[in-house]
Amino acid sequence: DSGVTQTPKHLITATGQRVTLRCSPRSGDLSVYWYQQSLDQGLQFLIQYYNGEERAKGNILERFSAQQFPDLHSELNLSSLELGDSALYFCASSEQGYTIYFGEGSWLTVV
Amino acid sequence: AQKVTQAQTEISVVEKEDVTLDCVYETRDTTYYLFWYKQPPSGELVFLIRRNSFDEQNEISGRYSWNFQKSTSSFNFTITASQVVDSAVYFCALSEASNFGNEKLTFGTGTRLTIIP
C-alpha cells in the first residue's frame, strides 16, 4: 500500500459526459501528480500541484482540469469525454525532491 | 528533452532463470533521478528503486539488483532466480532535479516480463 488513495477505482460513462477523479496523497506529501496511461500513449504526465499551486503541466487536454485543495487532496475533472479518453488515470504524491508514490489508479471507460 | 528507452517490449523466461531488463536514458541535466516501477496485472504502479545521478554504486535488494552506468546512460534491472510473482510490466523512469520541486517523471514504454512456471 503506497498510501495514495484514489477513487473511484472503476468508472464507466458515456461520451460527452463529465467525471471527477479524486486523490488523497500520502500523509505529509505536498506534491500531487496526475498521469494518464493508455495503450497508444503509454504513461503520460498530465499535471503537478504543490501545496495548492499548479507547478508543472504536461500533455493535459483543455477539456481536463485539476486542482489541489487546502487539505491537499486533489481532483482531476474530465469533461466532454471522448472514447479516446478511456485510460487508467494515476495520482501520485511525493515529499518535495523525493520518491514519487502512485495510487492504484482509476480505470475510466468511455462508451 | 528527456527520453527513456526500454527496447525490450516483452521477455519470457522460465522460472528460476535470471533476467535483465534494459533501460537507456537521455538527459541534458547533470543532476537527475532514475526509477524503476513494477505494474502487476492488477494495474497499480509499485515503486522499486530511486537512484540519483551522483550515486553509481550498484544496489541489491533480495533477488533484485540494479546496475547504473553513467558512461553508457543505462540503468539496468536484474531479477535473479525469477518467480511467477515477478510477472509484470516494468517501467524505467527519469526525473529532472535541476528545478527543485519539479520532479515529473518521464517513463519508458515498459517491458512485459512473463515468468513461465
Q: What span, in angstroms and rounded, lies between the C-alpha atoms of B97 and B76?
A: 21
Q: What span, in angstroms and rounded, lies between the C-alpha atoms of A64 and A76?
A: 7
Q: Give the DSSP letter of residue A26.
A: P
Q: Of the given ranges (A21-25, A83-87, B22-26, B31-35), which has the lowest mean pLDDT?
A: B31-35
Residue A41 has pLDDT above 90, yes or no: no
Q: B84, B115 in Cβ contact below 8 A?
A: yes
- Decide: residue B48, CB within 10 A, 0-12 exposed, 13-18 middle, 19+ buried: middle
Q: Residue B1 corresponds to which cell in the numbers above? A: 528533452
Number of residue pairs across A and B with CB atoms under 8 Å? 61
Q: What is the pLDDT of residues A76-99, one digit of tens each?
A: 999 999 999 999 999 999 986 678
Instruction: List chain B residues with CB under 8 Å of A100.
Output: 35, 47, 95, 103, 105
Q: What is the mean pLDDT of residues B110-116?
A: 97
CA-nearest residue of chain A to B99? A97
- Amino acid of residue B7: A
Q: Is B24 on the interface with A (CB under 8 A)?
A: no
Q: Is B41 on the interface with A (CB under 8 A)?
A: no
- pLDDT bin (cut points 50, 70, 90) of residue A2 is confident
Give the per-residue pLDDT at A99: 85
CA-nearest residue of chain A to B47? A101
Instruction: List chain A residues with CB under 8 Å of B100.
Output: 96-97
Pick from A31, A101, A107: CB nearest B47: A101
Q: Residue B40 corresponds to which cell in the numbers above? A: 502487476
The DSSP string of A29-78 is --EEEEEEEETTTEEEEEEEEETTEEEEE-S--TTEEEEE-TTS-EEEEE
Give the per-residue pLDDT at A77: 98
